[in-house]
A and B are shown apart, each in its own frame.
Chain A
Amino acid sequence: MSASIGVIVFPGTNCEHDAVGAVDALGGEGRLIFHTDTSLGQLDGLILPGGFAHGDYLRPGAIARFSPIMEAVRTFAEAGGPVVGICNGFQVLCEAHLLPGALQKNRGLTFLCQPSELEVVSTSSVLTSSATVGQRLSVPINHFSGSYTCDLDTLRQLEAQDRIVLRYVDNPNGSIDSIAGISNEAGNVVGLMPHPERAVSSLLGSEDGAVLLRSFLGAAAAATVG
């Protein structure tokens, strides 16, 4: 059975169709869910896609976190449902405290839109379960506030619990410990700045994002939440 994936749309989200397209291309079924909805319906997994929710006013994700749909997202995540936040979605998950830390403006105040070389650090997340540790993936980044930061205790905890999911090979944005993606303790909630949905076909320059999204779809198909 193919996995049914909800893609959350906030005002200002702009990667929702790419996300649905990638899910569909990889054998899942994506559908859009509006930020004013209060329930998710029958779903196997959730994607919070990229964009500029609420114009990134105040801080990226700061306002989106109060959207009506976020309560259902929290319930789904806490019940073990697979959730991935991509770029702005990662920022929303951090602001909603579903993931620790914060995303700051890039080092050098540069908006970065380029391919990025990633290294898989952990395979105990829903996004990397079919990858191998040390595997190199080329996945594009497209962000201004993507420099991951957290306090030292959190960083030690992330390391000790195998929750650093992906690292940049050349750390283009100045993230602490070159972190590109992290997970929650259970591994079912993942946030990453790179855009795997933009790397699912050689036409787009890379198919490496499919490795990540296939893991996610597999986890979603196996999940019993929703």
Chain B
Amino acid sequence: MRFLAHVDVRLRHGIADPEGATILRALPALGFTSVASVESGRSFRVELDAADLEAARSMAASLADRLLANPVIEESVIEVEPLG
């Protein structure tokens, strides 16, 4: 069965986020003066084949942990849905 995994990689709490901080500083120039915070991250959509939803989740978690995120500074949030 084919599944679609949404992998959202974000910085761990307490790790400096210069990208988010720079975006936050730029927003007032566009008139967005009431933005309280910005956190940067990246998202991946990964299509994969697995026996069932549980196996797909486990594979997505493993590839996120081993490649998509650097566990030293990042954590990932994963959602998996069946495709087609």
Task: List A residues at the B interface (Cβ < 8 Å).
Answer: 58-59, 62, 94-95, 100-102, 104-109, 147, 149-151, 174
A104/B15 in contact, CB under 8 A: yes
Give the number of chain B interface residues (Cβ < 8 Å).
10
Q: Which of B32-84 contact A (CB under 8 A)?
A: 67-68, 70, 72-73
A108/B18 in contact, CB under 8 A: yes
Task: List B residues at the A interface (Cβ < 8 Å).
Answer: 15-16, 18-19, 22, 67-68, 70, 72-73
Measured CB to CB, the nearest residue on chain A to B15 is A149
Give 9 nearest A-B pairs by CB, closest first. A102-B72, A102-B73, A109-B22, A105-B18, A109-B18, A102-B70, A107-B18, A59-B70, A149-B73
* Total CB contacts across the A-B interface at under 8 A: 36
Distance (Å) between the CB of A101 and the closest chain B CB? 6
Measured CB to CB, the nearest residue on chain A to B72 is A102
Measured CB to CB, the nearest residue on chain B to A101 is B72
Inter-chain CA distance A150–B72, complex, in Å, is 7
A104/B67 in contact, CB under 8 A: no
In the bound complex, residues from chain A placing their C-beta under 8 Å from that of B67 are 58, 62
B16/A149 in contact, CB under 8 A: yes
Inter-chain CA distance A62–B66, complex, in Å, is 10
